């Protein structure tokens, strides 16, 4: 009888395949079945029920595995932390044993998207953002937790699995042409967008009409999934004729609309567009022209206030030349143009008119946290405040996120400093805006990214943000941090050697305080474990955790699908 162990290159990686209770269960080496370990270790009474980690709810599934790449491949892989180790199984589902108490009001599914597979065959990808998208779900019901993961079946992923090689252009990876003719064909495909990836590995949003869409920065990488099964339903096809190839990876999604920005690489600028629930048609609200620089700035996310869309224009700009290159450049598809300056543009949501375009200090941000309007005593809006995770205008963060750098941590403090950058954008016609730290960055170890807020405070004056900070030395943000923007203080959660993913706030139904709710994160632990963690949104103390039967790779952004 064939037996496959999943002992990985880390030596501490264990994975309970979905096939554990299926006809494929012979694929698990007896002494290595973590289900057995769980059964013996974790039969406990909880809320009067006997809880064991079991996957009996899962239907028999094919055991599609992703064998780890050979160590000898010579491109930097040393398998040092489970956060940066590809998941071995295409999918899994099961109930987790919960330590602590999950509040009974927490009913629904937390979904987290992110790269989960960083190799095809023996070829290792170079950058964190190259990995093939993997969804993780945590389904909370009656104080219990059913979890799972599944690869998103994008064209890029399916083609790589079928042909055992990279077939589409990813963030830093480009497929190797077989010959000169195919190179020419490849260039043509690039202009049409055909060779760009649809690997939707960045975020996941629940639209007001109930559809759940995974996203990346290519428009074609908008993929509808089923939040219960994590199955790939199909492409989200935009029915309009706006064209373009890329968009912001972080649309603003509310009960009434979906707003996003489409950078225009031909006539440098941005289109702000709106899509109504139940439709696939984006309509133009307005346009911002870039007055300086050869191309628009990278726009991974953007903030909104009640009445305005803020269009950030960073000096880290898209670069058509770099898009065409076969090998990654130091700044990938982008270029740093400090001479072209940095701007914040303000567009009226209702009219599409630009009401301010101010020059601001140079900055680098991927993630805006929130924004709101400042008013005078007559209720007139005098300025906008926009907060972001700001990397001190230093582009080196992109390099630090190379997989090889993440995997080869030596204990030295190499994470570049970051802060909560607070922009003040005057609406009185002044040409300049300010950018300052909203609190002393030492409060959060000078690490700052992957943020969430109470969604009821979107576009409103707010007090709390949840993000990943740093406890130094480190090479990656390693704390969960609650930022109090009024007291200018941070409270940090830390587990030595652990890599936590974005803390996601879910408000308690009926809450009247901004921080009344829970914060969900998934942790890739030092010993190779993976666990879901629940912190109290107010005290920031742990209230529950639940261990997966396998280690979790790092993930990016999540969303909440409430139980109906």
Residue numbers at the binding site for ligand LIO64GT3 (CB under 6 A): 129, 169-171, 196-197, 202, 216-218, 246, 249, 300, 333, 366, 397, 449, 477, 556
What is the smallest separation between the CB atom of 424 and ligand LIO64GT3, expressed in angstroms?
23
Tokens of 194: 């055909």
What is the smallest separation between the CB atom of 523 and ligand LIO64GT3, expressed in angstroms?
16
Give the E-state strand segments of 280-364 in sequence order. 282-289, 308-313, 316-318, 334-336, 342-348, 354-360
Is 367 annotated as contributing to ligand binding?
yes
Q: Which is nearer to ligand LIO64GT3, 443 or 514 (CB)?
A: 443
What is the smallest separation between the CB atom of 201 and ligand LIO64GT3, expressed in angstroms?
6
Q: Whole-angstrom Cα distance, residue 269 to residue 264? A: 5
Q: Which is nearer to ligand LIO64GT3, 156 or 383 (CB)?
A: 156
What is the smallest separation between the CB atom of 170 and ligand LIO64GT3, expressed in angstroms?
6
| 313-340 burial: b if 16+ Cβ within 10 Å, else e | bbbbbbbeeebeeeebeebbbbbbbeeb
Is 119 annotated as contributing to ligand binding?
no
Q: Whole-angstrom Cα distance, residue 547 to residue 533? A: 9
What is the smallest separation between the CB atom of 124 and ligand LIO64GT3, expressed in angstroms?
17
What is the smallest separation between the CB atom of 551 and ligand LIO64GT3, expressed in angstroms?
20
Burial class (CB in 10 A: 0-12, 13-18, 19+), 502: buried
Q: Whole-angstrom Cα distance, residue 257 to residue 237? A: 17
Is 149 annotated as contributing to ligand binding?
no
Q: Which is nearer to ligand LIO64GT3, 153 or 449 (CB)?
A: 449
Q: Which is nearer to ligand LIO64GT3, 64 or 397 (CB)?
A: 397
Residue with tokens 């939040």: 227
Q: Which is nearer to ligand LIO64GT3, 132 or 464 (CB)?
A: 132
Q: Which is nearer to ligand LIO64GT3, 356 or 450 (CB)?
A: 450
Beta carbons of 300 and 270 less than 8 angstroms apart: no
- Which 3 state secondary structure label does DSSP give 385? strand
Q: Which is nearer to ligand LIO64GT3, 366 or 560 (CB)?
A: 366
What is the smallest separation between the CB atom of 169 and ligand LIO64GT3, expressed in angstroms?
6
Residue 184 CA, chain-centre distance (Å), reads 34
Q: Would you mind telling me the total number of residues written for the chain in this entry?
A: 564
Q: What is the DSSP string of 11-54?
A: S------GGGGSTTGGGB-GGG-HHHHHHHH--EEETTEEE--B
Annotated binding residues for Fe cation, written as ranges, equal 250, 300, 367, 557
């Amino acid at each position: 009888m064939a037996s496959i162990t999943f002992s990985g290159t880390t030596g501490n990686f264990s994975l309970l395949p979905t096939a554990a209770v299926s006809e494929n269960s012979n694929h698990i080496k007896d002494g290595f079945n973590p289900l057995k370990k769980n059964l013996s270790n974790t039969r406990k009474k909880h809320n009067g029920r006997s809880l064991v980690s079991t996957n009996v709810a899962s239907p028999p599934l094919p055991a599609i595995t992703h064998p780890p790449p050979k160590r000898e491949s010579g491109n930097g892989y040393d398998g040092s932390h489970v956060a940066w180790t590809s998941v071995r199984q295409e999918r899994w589902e099961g109930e987790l044993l919960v330590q602590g108490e999950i509040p009974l009001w927490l009913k629904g599914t937390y979904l987290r998207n992110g790269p989960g597979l960083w190799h095809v065959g023996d070829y290792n990808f170079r950058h964190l953002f190259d990995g093939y998208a993997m969804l993780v779900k945590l389904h909370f019901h009656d104080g219990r937790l059913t979890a799972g993961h599944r690869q998103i079946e994008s064209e890029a992923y399916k083609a790589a699995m079928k042909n055992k090689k990279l077939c589409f252009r990813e963030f830093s990876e480009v497929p190797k042409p077989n010959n000169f003719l195919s190179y020419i064909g490849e260039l043509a495909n690039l202009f049409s967008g055909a060779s760009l990836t649809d690997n939707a590995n960045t975020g996941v949003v629940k639209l007001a009409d109930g559809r759940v869409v995974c996203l990346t920065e290519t428009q074609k990488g908008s993929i509808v999934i089923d939040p219960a099964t994590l199955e790939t339903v199909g492409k989200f096809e935009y029915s309009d004729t706006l064209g373009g190839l890329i968009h912001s990876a972080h649309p603003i999604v509310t009960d009434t609309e979906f707003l996003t920005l489409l950078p225009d690489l031909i006539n440098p600028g941005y289109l702000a567009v709106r899509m109504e629930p139940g439709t696939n048609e984006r309509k133009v609200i307005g346009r911002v022209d870039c007055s300086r620089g050869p191309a628009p700035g990278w726009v991974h996310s953007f903030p909104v206030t009640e009445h305005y869309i803020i269009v950030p224009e960073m000096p880290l700009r898209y670069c058509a030349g770099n898009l065409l290159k076969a090998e990654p450049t130091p700044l990938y598809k982008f270029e740093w143009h400090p001479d072209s300056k940095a701007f914040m543009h303000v567009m009226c949501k209702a009219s599409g008119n630009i009401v301010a375009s101010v020059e601001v200090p140079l900055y680098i941000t991927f993630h805006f946290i929130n924004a709101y309007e400042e008013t005078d005593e007559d209720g007139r809006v005098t300025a906008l405040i926009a907060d972001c995770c700001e990397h001190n205008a230093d582009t080196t963060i992109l390099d630090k996120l190379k997989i090889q750098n993440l995997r080869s941590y030596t204990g030295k403090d190499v994470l570049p400093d970051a802060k909560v950058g607070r922009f003040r954008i005057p609406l009185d016609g002044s040409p300049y805006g300010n950018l300052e730290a909203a609190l002393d960055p030492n409060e959060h170890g000078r690490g700052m990214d992957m943020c969430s807020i109470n969604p009821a405070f979107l576009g409103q004056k707010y007090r709390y943000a949840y993000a990943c900070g740093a406890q130094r030395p480190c090479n990656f943000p390693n704390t969960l941090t609650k930022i109090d923007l009024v007291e200018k203080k941070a409270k940090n959660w830390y587990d030595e050697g652990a890599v936590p993913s974005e803390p996601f706030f879910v408000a308690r139904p009926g809450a009247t305080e901004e921080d009344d709710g829970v914060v969900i994160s998934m942790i890739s632990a030092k010993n190779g474990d993976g666990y879901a963690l629940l912190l109290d949104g107010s005290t920031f103390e742990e209230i529950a955790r639940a261990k997966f039967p396998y280690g979790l790779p790092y993930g990016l952004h999540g969303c909440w699908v409430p139980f109906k």
